[in-house]
Amino acid sequence: MKAQELIDTAGTLVAGDKGLLAMDESNPTCNERFARLGIPQTEEARRAYRELIVTTPGLGECISGMILYDETIRQQKKDGTPFVKVITDAGIIPGIKVDTGEEEMAGHPGEKITGGLDGLRYRLAEYSHMGARFAKWRAVIAIGDGMPSRGCIEANAQALARYASLCQETGLVPVVEPEVLMDGEHTLERCGEVTEEVLRTVFNQLHTQRVTLEGMILKPNMVLPGLTCPQQEGVDKVADATVKCLLRAVPAAVPGIAFLSGGQSGELASARLNAMNVRFKSRLPWALAFSFARAIQQPALEIWHGEEENLLPAQQALYHRARCNLAARRGAYNAAMERM
């Protein structure tokens, strides 16, 4: 019964050409983004911003799931309605980030290991009780001199698999996020090699830890050249390299792949997802969807700027990006949509 529920929830998360909206920034990350725009870094400002997101009209047309953070899942609208109820009433599935962030990895200078396994079973039970139906855990892998090391890849893959297994035990769909970072001068090819190695290791560990692949979502990076690589490839090359890598490393039993945006602009992230669906959609075993934070939220955050009077235009900007990504899943996104 539980396995069927997991499969149904995972299927719903990628059905109807919708995708996930990640609004699971930890308080320090959210504060950092607020600070850059001069927005006060208070619990009330974070709550007001999250209220703006969850009350955006029409979001349920494009968004299947929202990923919350521990603070956010406990918060309410100003009128006292819990966010989880607002989200559910909009036809959107609430989810929760459950890792506790990345830490320096012992013996591996410059590399990180994600924490949060201790006590996870009990936290998952609490979140499930609060209405969450899926969870997210992010591992970060840096490319650089001698990096990533085998030790870093294996430790992070094992943590992802142990988290995923605990999620499924609780009836939560794990969103498994191994992120190969964009920072660096590396080429598109190097990102492809590293991403493939990381994904192969992750799926080996998921198998070892008895994770049901049909009841999970993979949240990977796109295969991209490093931010400071002089050779910045076009949209079609990125689409080809990304799909080639995924076809090699992601089993067909996985129902959906929902990309993170990783610091790409909203427009580029939509254009790249669109190109993948235009070129390959009919030939792929899994759905290619999105699970963006910055690439959906950033324009709305900048317009809002902490001011109540900017609420409506900020919500319009959020809805616009969500619609662009719905179109990208259909292979129907184009630059003209950005002028509407």
Amino acid at 327: A
Q: Residue 282 Cβ, how far from ligand 13P at the closest point, in Å? A: 26
Q: Residue 237 Cβ, how far from ligand 13P at the closest point, in Å? A: 21
Alpha-carbon gap, residue 136 to 209, rounded angstroms: 17
Q: Which is nearer to ligand 13P, 166 or 222 (CB)?
A: 222
Q: Which is nearer to ligand 13P, 5 or 274 (CB)?
A: 274
Name the residue among 91, 85, 62 with its Cα closest to residue 290. 62
Q: Is there a contact between 85 and 130 (Cβ–Cβ < 8 Å)?
A: no
Hey, how many other C-beta atoms are within 10 angstroms of the C-beta on 196?
Answer: 18
Name the residue among 219, 316, 216, 180 with its Cα closest to residue 21. 219
Indicate the pairing of strand 19-22 with strand 112-114.
Answer: unpaired
Q: Which is nearer to ligand 13P, 140 or 250 (CB)?
A: 140
Q: Residue 259 Cβ, how far from ligand 13P at the closest point, in Å? A: 8
Q: Which is nearer to ligand 13P, 254 or 295 (CB)?
A: 295
Q: Is there a contact between 64 and 290 (Cβ–Cβ < 8 Å)?
A: no
- What is the binding site for ligand 13P (CB under 6 A)? 22, 24, 138, 177, 260-262, 292-295
Catalytic residue chosen out of the listed positions 219, 237, 267, 302: 219
Q: Which two tokens stand for residue 146?
A: 């001698």
Q: Residue 262 Cβ, how far from ligand 13P at the closest point, in Å? A: 4
Q: Residue 48 Cβ, how far from ligand 13P at the closest point, in Å? A: 20
Q: Residue 107 Cβ, how far from ligand 13P at the closest point, in Å? A: 25
Sign of torsion over alpha carbons 163, 208, 224, 106 = positive
Q: Which is nearer to ligand 13P, 18 or 294 (CB)?
A: 294
Hey, how many other C-beta atoms are within 10 angstroms of the C-beta on 296?
Answer: 31
Q: Which is nearer to ligand 13P, 109 or 115 (CB)?
A: 115
193 is catalytic: no
Q: Is there a contact between 257 and 222 (Cβ–Cβ < 8 Å)?
A: no
Alpha-carbon gap, residue 274 to 68, rounded angstroms: 26
Q: What count of Cα atoms within 13 Å lies in the side-chain half-sphere of residue 104?
A: 5
18 is catalytic: no
Name the residue among 116, 5, 111 with its Cα closest to residue 69. 116
Helix (H) or strand (E) holding 288: strand 287-292
- The residue with tokens 């008895």 is 210
Hey, how many other C-beta atoms are within 10 angstroms of the C-beta on 43?
Answer: 10
Catalytic residue chosen out of the listed positions 25, 111, 177, 196: 177
Active site residues: 177, 219
